[in-house]
Amino acid sequence: MELKIKLVKSPIGYAQDQKDTVKALGLRKIGQVVQRPDNPPIRGMVFKVKHLVSVEETK
């Protein structure tokens, strides 16, 4: 299983730790999509910035 993560809102104006989390996921530009493995650390990162990203499960 993998997660398809898309940045849908800018992290500007949010706390630095949230900006760092978006960067650590590999997201730079709005609309950019990355695939990451579905595991607890990645799920935690996504949960922290759930208001900035959209997530889809893929196989």
pLDDT of 59 reads 87
Q: Which H or E run includes 58?
A: strand 53-58
**In which residue ranges of the chain is pLDDT below 50?**
none
Cite the beta strand spans of the chain per DSSP E.
2-7, 33-37, 53-58
Angle between the 16-24 and 40-48 helix axes, to the nearest 10 degrees? 140
**pTM, two decimal places:** 0.93
Structurally, the chain folds into a number of domains equal to 1
CATH number assigned to the domain comprising residue 19? 3.30.1390.20
Range of the domain at 10: 2-58
